[in-house]
Amino acid sequence: SETGDQGKAASREASRAEGHILGIGLSTRRVMCVHPEAQLKRSEASNVTREDVDEMCRQLTAPWNREDATKAKSGQHKLCEFYEKYSRTLGDQSRFLETGIYTVEDLRAMGQQEEEYGWCPYYVSKRLIQAADVVVLNYKYVLDP
């Protein structure tokens, strides 16, 4: 994972205060995306770049594409079901998880649980920054988001 050993150590340390704080792991789309096409790209070629996943995500979540898809209703426009669920259910909330520590892996796993969660972990983590007491991330992400 891009958060590495230091991120895991920070998460373990923060978990001592669990119940009192909200801590989240944050990483790139390439790491956090649970969309089947992005996962397929990652498994087929280890040289899938961050830019590849970013571009796919932008195409699936772009406002104009989402608007066109709503108007067309013909299935011509592909949308990200995980982003759509995030947008419908969580998009205007900043605190929607119980206090605790949520690593990048935790958020990805929750994103893959379609029945209970099923929302985009990347956008969820970005929204949770507003409410989090602790954010664990790779310093490179701060320098080159």
pLDDT digits (tens, 9 = 90+) for 105-119: 999 999 998 778 889
Q: Is pLDDT at 80 greater than 80 in this prediction?
A: yes
DSSP state of 27: -
Structure tokens at 11: 């998460």
| pLDDT at residue 76, rounded to an integer | 63
Rounded to two decimals, what is the model's pTM?
A: 0.76
Residues 55 and 83 sit within 8 Å (Cβ to Cβ): no
Q: Could you tell me which residue, 49 or 18, shows the higher pLDDT?
A: 49
Task: List the one residue out of 86, 76, 75 whose CA is nearest residue 122.
Answer: 86
Q: What is the pLDDT of residue 10?
A: 54
For residues 67-76, average pLDDT: 69
Instruction: Report phi then psi at 18, rounded to 5.
Output: -55, 145
Alpha helices in 1-145, H assignment, sequence order: 4-15, 29-32, 36-44, 50-61, 63-72, 81-89, 104-112, 121-128, 139-143
The percentage of residues in the chain with a pLDDT greater than 70, rounded to a whole number, is: 72
